[in-house]
Amino acid sequence: MPNAAQKVQPCIVVIFGASGDLTKRKLIPSLYDLYVGKQLPETFAVLGVSRTPMSDDEFRGHLLEQAKKFAHHYDDKTWAEFAPMVHYHAGDSTQAEAFGPLKARIAELAKQHRTGDNVILYLSMAPQLYEPTIVNIGAAGMVTEGKAWCSINREPSWQRIIIEKPFGHDRESAAHLNRVLGRVFEEESIYRIDHYLGKETVQNLLVFRFANTIFEPIWNRNYIDHVQVTAAETVGVEGRGGYYDSPSGGALSDMIQSHLLQVMAVVAMEPPVTMRADDIRLEKTKVLIGARDITTDMIPKMAVRGQYGPGQNEGTAVPGYRQEKGVNPASQTDTFAALQVHIDTWRWGGVPFYLRSGKRMAKKLTEIVIYFKPTPHALFREQAMKKNGIPPNQIVINVQPDEGIRLRFEGKVPGAGMNMKSVEMDFDYVKQFKAKPPEAYATLLLDAMRGDQTLYKHRNEIEEAWRIVQPVAEHWRENPQDDLPNYAAGTWGPSAADVMMARDGRHWHNP
Ligand code: BG6
């Protein structure tokens, strides 16, 4: 598990796909914030690699605007100290010939910045470019298995690779990518990123569950009725129509296959034997293995797809998905997906997990809601009749925004009679710790520099996650749905998702 005291060794972070959005919006602002927090190694450099010709200065200029917007602690003076560590190299990483000059550039920077031979290779590019890039990295001899490479020093060195999602578009393509990676890198050098694992509240789940005695005894089928995980966004596809309207796009593949199944795995995992990365990842993998196959006949009951039509976003009229740039005007892509997952294990038998995610929804919010079972004996029957039933106890874990945890239970209304009302105990992350949670990418980049894989996914987790969603994704592709778009932008998604819940006698938690 991340250990703040662990020393970070000097290194260079090489970002492939550096002219893309992620570099500007997340990677550079996060590295800059780490610099502000004095968490970067003493000697450090970043090298952006893309095809577009650019000088170092032009690249820095291209990053500045977004750094001002997205870094948590921007100021001109500190940026002026940080920027000289950032460099740029134009090259096409799908071409083997590009790697001679690239290696020479890395060696030159390693000398200039005294970073030694430690390198993080960050693939932040179109997913079809992953394989040729990995093959070329291997063929160019950039992975030295601990031996010195740039010949700057003779210390044992490391080369690690971070790979962005989408990691494959189904189980077979993910397994193939894992094999390609495995021919070049050891598993301990492969960092498959899922930025939800870097979110402070998701990590806090481990502490909440395993550092406290009061929750774990009730964290099972005897007390829990069902669990909901919602990741709702108010944004549309934000100029990413081309990617989103492809086989690895859509809410099911883009969000549920990765982020939501990971959150579910953390909620549902058994206590790990130790806090070591492999022990934690093994327990998460076991949850995913336990998820029941969704057979074709079950899909209409267990999965709902939606697509937004024109509507409102925070008071402004916005177009429908099919009118977005780069999207097929007859697109069948799901901008909303809801999925019911059953984990066939001793702990979770009979407890459904309902996962849903959508774009252009009513509110930006990611939350986990644990619904508890009713009391075994209804002592307050009369009051329950008045209130239309006693609401179940709930633990609401706000992943973002307003990070925190709320426990909802029944309390007695003061005064005569035994009237009751739902009340809340509230833990607010910002109020309690007087700090804004760090950006997930900053946490994860630092972990990769420290060699800590806890918050990165093991190959088996990714392949299992594809196994869970793949039958649904394929069924949807093969069977167009006539009523799309089926929800207006700015709402909580299609009514079919409410019907799915109502069929089970439940309803979504829509704050
Ligand atoms: C990304 C998805 O992984 O996560 C995007 O590809 C989505 O489509 C984003 O918008 C959501 O992340 P966050 O941190 O804003 O919830």
CA distance 254 to 166: 7
The answer to whether position 260 is within a domain reads: yes
Is 343 in the same domain as 398?
yes
- Tokens 């796909």 correspond to 17
The counts of H helices and E strands in the chain are 18, 18
Ligand 1 atom, smallest distance to 166 CA: 6
Task: Kindly report the pTM of this predicted structure.
Answer: 0.95
447 lines ligand 1 (CB under 6 A): no
Going from the C-alpha of 430 to that of each of 4, 37, 266, 400, 402, the distances in angstroms are 20, 18, 22, 12, 8
Q: How far apart are CA 487 and CA 362, in angstroms?
A: 11
Distance 249 CA to ligand 1 centre (A): 11
Residue 250 included in any domain: yes
Tell me how far apart the 2 most distant CA atoms of the chain are, in Å. Answer: 84
Q: Which of 139, 164, 189 is the last residue of a domain?
A: 164
Same domain, 113 and 243: no
Instruction: Say which amino acid occupies 293.
Output: D
Which amino acid, 67?
A: A
Residue 112 shares a structural domain with residue 244: no
Instruction: Examine residue 181 and state whether it is found in any structural domain, yes or no.
Output: no
Say how far apart CA 475 and CA 180 lie, in whole Å: 28
Same domain, 155 and 229: no
* Structural domain of 342: 197-503
**Ligand 1 proximity of 463 Cβ (cutoff 6 Å):** no
Same domain, 91 and 240: no
Q: Kindly report the average pLDDT of the chain as a whole number.
A: 94
Q: Residue 147 has what pLDDT? A: 58
Residues labelled catalytic: 259
CA nearest neighbour of 235 among 293, 306, 174, 321: 321
Q: Closest Cα to residue 127, out of 262, 249, 255, 256?
A: 249
Is 201 found in the same domain as 159?
A: no
Q: Are residues 80 and 213 in the same domain?
A: no
Closest by alpha carbon to 460, among 260, 192, 159, 164? Answer: 192
Cα-flanking dihedrals φ and ψ of residue 46, to 5°? -125, 135
Q: How many domains does the chain have?
A: 2
Whether 233 is in the pocket of ligand 1, judged by its Cβ within 6 Å, is yes
Alpha helices in 115-193, H assignment, sequence order: 130-139, 171-184
Q: How many CB atoms lie within 10 A of CB 319?
A: 16
Please tell me if the CB atom of residue 367 comes closer than 6 angstroms to any atom of ligand 1.
no
5 assigned to some structural domain: no
Structural domain contains residue 509 = no
Give CA–CA dist 230/511, Å, rounded: 11
Residues 188-226 as b/e (b if ≥16 CB within 10 A, e otherwise) read ebbbbbbbbbbbbbbbbbbebeeeeeeeeeebeeeebbb
Check which CATH number belongs to the domain holding 381 and give it: 3.30.360.10
Q: What is the CATH number of the domain that holds 36?
A: 3.40.50.720
CA distance 404 to 58: 41
The ligand 1 atom nearest the CA atom of 235: 10
How remote is the CA of residue 232 from the centroid of ligand 1, in Å? 10
Residues contacting residue 376 through CB under 8 Å, at least 6 positions apart: none
pLDDT, one tens digit per residue, over 244-281 is 998 779 999 999 999 999 999 999 999 999 999 999 99
Q: How far apart are CA 193 and CA 455, in angstroms?
A: 8
How many angstroms is it from 255 CA to the middle of ligand 1? 7
DSSP label of 343: B
Nearest to 330 by CA among 310, 307, 311, 359: 307
> Which of 193, 197, 233, 257 most suits a substitution to test ligand 1, by most atoms within 8 Å of the C-beta?
233
Q: Which of 120, 149, 164 is the last residue of a domain?
A: 164
**What is the C-alpha to C-alpha distance for residues 158 and 144, in angstroms, rounded to an integer?**
7
Judge if 126 and 254 occupy the same domain: no
Q: What is the pLDDT along the chain (511 residues), one digit of tens a residue?
A: 555 556 789 999 999 999 999 999 999 999 999 999 999 999 999 999 999 999 999 999 999 999 999 999 999 999 999 999 999 999 999 999 999 999 999 999 999 999 988 999 999 999 999 999 999 999 999 998 665 555 555 567 899 999 999 999 999 999 999 999 999 999 999 999 999 999 999 999 999 999 999 999 999 999 999 999 999 999 999 888 888 998 779 999 999 999 999 999 999 999 999 999 999 999 999 999 999 999 999 999 999 999 999 999 988 999 999 999 999 999 999 999 999 999 999 999 999 999 999 999 999 999 999 999 999 888 888 888 887 788 999 999 999 998 999 999 999 999 988 889 999 999 999 999 998 889 999 999 999 999 999 999 999 999 999 999 999 999 999 999 999 999 999 999 999 999 999 999 999 999 8
Distance between CA atoms of 245 and 77, rounded to whole angstroms?
A: 41
Same-domain check for residues 137 and 244: no
Contact 65, 22 (CB under 8 A): no
Q: Is residue 403 part of a domain?
A: yes
From 164, 180, 214, the end of a domain falls on 164
Q: Is residue 190 part of a domain?
A: no
CB 254 less than 6 A from any atom of ligand 1: yes
> Are 438 and 302 in a shared domain?
yes
Q: Do residue 337 and residue 212 come from a single domain?
A: yes
Cα of 415 to ligand 1 centre, how many Å?
48
User: What's the pLDDT tens digit per position in 439-479?
Assistant: 999 999 999 999 999 999 999 999 999 999 999 999 999 99
- Assess whether 159 and 252 both reside in one domain: no
SS3 content of the chain, % helix, strand, coil (to 5): 40, 20, 40
Paired tokens of 297: 């006949």
Give the E-state strand segments of 99-144 in sequence order: 119-123
Alpha helices in 419-478 (DSSP H): 429-433, 440-450, 459-478
410, 391 in Cβ contact below 8 A?
A: yes
- Considering only CA atoms, which residue is closest to atom 9 of ligand 1? 255
- Flag whether 170 is in a domain: no
User: Ligand 1 atom 4: the closest Cα is on which residue?
Assistant: 255
Q: How far is the CA of 117 from the centre of ligand 1 (A)?
A: 33
Q: Whose CA is nearest to atom 15 of ligand 1?
A: 233
